[in-house]
Structure 1
């Protein structure tokens, strides 16, 4: 009689601490046994030979916009979660916007949960929103399982998710601190961005570079300094999303040294794309904050290497192709959001591990272990150890490929990464020990309550 459901043999097992060659035995969706340097003598119902391959903990993408319910024509949980599985991601945390209605109260959150239960291929978790009208709803959202709250310090671009003024965000942070949760913020200065944009547009300056110049790094720095001061005053745990420059990260790390409970995320597109890509690729590479100069990309990589970044997340924010078109050379009008959920691990392996000798252990730390710890999912997720969920990605580091449009699993097959050559191909993704992705094919897993 088989002792285990599955044994993965002879793989290079990667954690945040080490890489060892060995076997992983899985039983009832959990990692039941591992071996180092030797083969497990047990038998299983099935086996995977991972000789020459690397086994990563399934990535946790803490920042996606899957637009369900209400805007599934933009993406949707079915295609969004498939793209994650194809990229080795086994858990995501969905942002409270761009769904309609947004997750700003218990009723709306229930709609998201029901949609994920029905349509998601991978584990789904959720952010709640902080908007001017919902401070009294935060407690209900927290008790219903949101892992944190998200607020915009500048307009979000979504009419049913309002950005917060300073009084609202301060009151909200007081309540979030009382609940013992955390607040994630999109930190750009409304005053700086709006005024510079108005000046540019009035002068007929609407190029890619004009758009980038209207949202300068100092806009992020101003907003980050302000929100950190509120965190110090309220005791609210703070998470800064999508920092586009090491200059922003430096402000955050200065606050950490003062004892402020603050963490910072950056995204693969800020680690691999520049203003030149925005100019050459058009709207498909537009995002907010915008892409920066090449020296800023290198600055962020230095921050990653020095342990100054806590989390890497995709900020997958898709839209139909017509919304990404640059009409009459006006970059201000196109939707700002990168389709990138499928490519996070590929970017980190190619730009980090291959080009900059970033250790694989560091990649696991940034994309799996740190997110799991930050959002209370560790050690069930984010590592490969006995008792952890068997959420795994098996990767061939020796295989390279050019990303083609037809390789994308998104509802709309566009991404600024199309045409790039990546090192490291995701071969297999497992959720609770069940194979959900293998060599481009998907198998729907048994659903769970989320």
Structure 2
């Protein structure tokens, strides 16, 4: 074997226990229960306080490169991913210039990323008004699916789909089996809500009501039902929608849903006025809502937890005014998702196997990555070494992403990533060895 790893604790599809893992040519060749005599060129034995986990798969990352690389870039984003145990990301099609809404734009993005990524990177395409004819070509070029908004996206170059546009896009995608991932907030409900401007978090929360999510998700469900398309609800924050999501699945609608570490960690009651580092859309809601999202994970209604890493420069967060209406909405958390989720999960009786399902195996399955997210023979030898009982306090200036802004600053968390491996080689942050992925090839 090129590499042999001996771990007293490892999370595999069979559960948690001791394993001996062998790697050949960048793939996992052997996962043997217990400690067995397996010769290797390199042998690594984990410490008693360490657990071997598959590399996480984060399918919701805004890299913003090219065009807004001062917000984030491929080098810094993928370093942050590796520091957090994430070995594969899928980049969102907006906030970069040009947005990934045609093949030429995808080529530009790939050219910018080539040779600069420290983990593997795939790409989403975008579904916007007028680009229906470009969707099949993007699909054939290997994007993992298509993102749309049902209200203003925050950037003018990525406009939303109206109801007719949503149906048309879903029918087109259904014709070749692609999935549509949806930022589901209803524009009319948002327009009718109170003005979001000002320092009070309660006012901002009122400007993005649960009903806006619930209405939009209902519309996505019914459109998917009519068209037969695969739909995925992004960053669920309203627990009210869980019942209708579960019902749609029982009816046979091809629907999946994700939530994010910030919705599982923070609560509206504890967000200070003017603390715009907590602004995201849809918003962080009340404590009772958070607990119902955790119940949605326990029930299997929510299958995946991904970062929605949406960074920006400090100026765009408008710390000078603390105005939630003016501040950019997005939380930088790519490096912190695993400890943030684990900190909350273990308090509620969940296991590391649960966390691995939500953050590695299930996201990989959602986008069709057959060789990612599992410690299993035939999979890429992507893994991280995690110390679940070690604690730390987040210092935002020490994070690897580009700008020192994060809602997690000064927050104590449990679980430290001590190392990350990509195809059996340690990710050091030096020479970039990540690959650009195409749907069907991974």
Distance in 2, Cα, partners of 1:265 & 1:345: 15
Structure 2 residue 113 is the aligned partner of structure 1 residue 134: no
Distance in 2, Cα, partners of 1:294 & 1:16: 32
Q: How many residues align structurally?
A: 436
Q: Find the counterpart in structure 2 of residue 212 from structure 1.
A: 205
Structure 2 residue 104 is the aligned partner of structure 1 residue 107: yes
Q: Find the counterpart in structure 2 of residue 144 from structure 1.
A: 141
Give a deviation string over 1:341-393, Cα, whole Å, max 9, x none. 1111111211102x111121111111111111111112x11111111100001
Structure 2 residue 402 is the aligned partner of structure 1 residue 408: no
Distance in 1, Cα, partners of 2:322 & 2:331: 19
Q: Find the counterpart in structure 2 of residue 98 from structure 1.
A: 95
TM-fit CA distance, 1:152: 0.2
Give a deviation string over 1:233-261, Cα, whole Å, max 9, x none. 10010000001022122221111111101
TM-fit CA distance, 1:206: 5.7
Q: Find the counterpart in structure 1 of residue 157 from structure 2.
A: 160
CA contact (8 A) 2:317 2:328 kept: yes
* Residue of 293, 297, 321 corresponding to 2:314: 321
Distance in 1, Cα, partners of 2:221 & 2:7: 47
Distance verdict in 2 for CA 1:190–1:206, change over 3 Å: farther
Distance in 2, Cα, partners of 1:418 & 1:447: 28
CA contact (8 A) 1:68 1:99 kept: yes
TM-fit CA distance, 1:63: 0.3
Q: Find the counterpart in structure 1 of residue 264 from structure 2.
A: 271
TM-fit CA distance, 1:404: 1.0
CA contact (8 A) 1:149 1:182 kept: yes
* Residue of 432, 436, 439 corresponding to 2:427: 436
TM-fit CA distance, 1:262: 0.1
Structure 2 residue 359 is the aligned partner of structure 1 residue 383: no
* Residue of 341, 347, 360 corresponding to 2:352: 360
TM-fit CA distance, 1:42: 2.9
* Residue of 414, 417, 433 corresponding to 1:426: 417
TM-fit CA distance, 1:449: 4.8
Q: Find the counterpart in structure 2 of residue 59 from structure 1.
A: 56
For structure 2, the residue ranges without an aligned partner over 5 or more in a row are: 438-442
Structure 2 residue 18 is the aligned partner of structure 1 residue 21: yes
TM-fit CA distance, 1:444: 2.5
Aligned 1:233-244 pairs, distance under 5 A: 233-244=226-237
CA contact (8 A) 2:273 2:322 kept: no
Distance in 1, Cα, partners of 2:21 & 2:42: 12
TM-fit CA distance, 1:327: 4.7
Distance in 1, Cα, partners of 2:273 & 2:215: 30
Aligned 1:280-299 pairs, distance under 5 A: 282-299=275-292
CA contact (8 A) 1:249 1:264 kept: no
Distance verdict in 2 for CA 1:216–1:447, change over 3 Å: closer
Q: CA RMSD in A?
A: 1.5
Q: Find the counterpart in structure 2 of residue 226 from structure 1.
A: 219
Secondary structure of the 1:55 match is strand
Distance in 2, Cα, partners of 1:269 & 1:147: 24
Comparing 334-343 with 269-278, greater Cα deviation is found at 269-278
TM-fit CA distance, 1:162: 0.5
Q: Normalised by the size of structure 1, how large is the TM-score?
A: 0.94
For structure 1, the residue ranges without an aligned partner over 5 or more in a row are: none
TM-fit CA distance, 1:211: 1.1
Distance in 2, Cα, partners of 1:449 & 1:316: 19
Q: Find the counterpart in structure 1 of residue 302 from structure 2.
A: 309
Aligned 1:343-354 pairs, distance under 5 A: 343-353=336-346
Distance in 1, Cα, partners of 2:287 & 2:107: 43
